[in-house]
Structure 1
Amino acid sequence: MKKLLLSLTLMMAAIATYAQATRDIEDINEDNSWLKVGLNMGVPVGDIGDYSSFALGLDVAGQFMRTDNFGLGVATGYTNYFKKSDVAGAQDFGAIPLGLMLRYYPQPTGFFAGTDIGYTFLTGDIATDGGFYIRPQVGYHNYDWNIFAFYNQVFTSDPAADIQTIGVAATYNIRFK
């Protein structure tokens, strides 16, 4: 499943990149590049849902519109997973992703789809230090805001410790000058 998701993501990126005229990194300006800052919240699902009841985090990403419809960038942030109060020994823990951000925007305003892929570092009392992650998302965007639903999965060395979250997020676009 991991290989299928990664293959589809890379195929989407390649098609979108070569289907249009591309911009070079030297062409960065406030019309095609911005910093995205926002909040996310989610519900842990799968095995981690037995120990954590809620996730709340901060998203930060730098995006460059390689074409009029395809954006790429770097994504990071921090998400805290809150322990369930009725589970003895459960502890809060954190996730710090560092990944590549890929976005497809069919129109200047409206629907978008994308994914973040990379590595997530885990903090706190959890059985692993981190793992590969993928975060597909769909949502609405305009010049200033992005509001989206996402699924996030961190694949750890112990499949029983994989972290899965379903959530919503909103980010604000801060233009580069």
Structure 2
Amino acid sequence: MKKTFLIIGIVLGLNPLFGQEEDIDLTVDNSWLKAGITAGVPVSDAGDVSSFALGLDLRGQYLFNPNLGIGVATGYNNYFGKDNYDDFGIVPLAGFIRYYFTPDGLFFGSDLGYGFLTGVDDNEGGLYINPQIGYHNRDWNIYAYYQNTFAENDVDIQAVGIGATYNIRFK
């Protein structure tokens, strides 16, 4: 129940960002796809059954201004099983927000959504969060992240790692 209230609170808190009455004009300077990879070390519950996490990251971003970007994020994160455990994965479906301090330099942001589990019996997934801090320029984003999926049956799937995405501009 706490997770439901958290999601509702965040959606209502971000509502003014999406309540703009002006037309949104997508250009090469304010909108693009981000495609890249992530690599991480599973921690907590996930660290007991997995030794390494490798993923694909795909995002669509729109900049409201030079400092604030929002968008949607998805991809696939594979957790490689260790000992007698099988591999499993997470397919996130999330919204994200990023704050860029300067046109080139430090940024921070976070994803919030739902993580769908693959390769796991009796557990469909749960609340997905992915805070990030990193460096960006016009073409690349390099970042550190902490990823947590609060899955059903009190299972938290967590990883700490690094990622890199390339900006594919709309033309």
Mapped contact 1:23–1:67 kept (Cα < 8 A): no
Q: Structure 1 residues 25 and 78, CA, compared in 2 at 3 Å: closer, same or farther?
A: farther
Higher mean C-alpha displacement, 150-159 vs 123-132: 123-132
Check 1:108–1:68 CA distance in 2 against 1; reply closer, same or farther (3 A cut): same
Any idea what the Cα deviations from partners look like across 1:54-88, whole Å, max 9, x if unmatched? 0001000000001221100000001111001xx22
Question: Which blocks of at least 5 consecutive residues in structure 1 are unaligned?
Answer: none
Q: How far does residue 125 in structure 1 lie from its aligned partner after superposition? A: 3.0
Closer, same or farther in 2 for the Cα pair 1:6/1:115, shift >3 Å?
farther
Aligned counterpart, 1:71: 69
Instruction: List runs of 5+ in structure 2 lacking aligned partners.
Output: none
Query: Which residue of 2 is the match for residue 119 of structure 1?
Result: 114
| Alignment check: 8 A CA contact 1:140 1:148 kept | yes
Seen in structure 2, the aligned counterparts of structure 1 residues 53 and 126 have a Cα distance that, compared at 3 Å, is farther
CA contact (8 A) 1:154 1:164 kept: yes
Structure whose residues are more often strand by fraction:
2
Amino acid at match of 1:111: L
Contact 1:48 1:162 in 2 (8 A): yes
1:49 is paired with a residue of what secondary structure? helix
- What RMSD over aligned residues (CA atoms) do the two structures have, in Å? 2.5
Question: Matches of 1:23 and 1:143 in 2, distance apart?
Answer: 28
Per the TM alignment, residue 176 of structure 1 is displaced from its structure 2 partner at its CA by 0.7
Aligned counterparts of 1:133 and 1:124: Cα–Cα separation in 2: 17
Report the CA distance shift for 1:140/1:23 in structure 2 as closer, same or farther (over 3 A).
farther
Count of residue correspondences: 168
Local SS of the residue matching 1:108: coil
TM-score computed with the length of structure 2 as normaliser: 0.88
* Superposed CA offset, 1:77-127 (max 9, x none): 01111001xx22x10011100000110011101000000000011111344
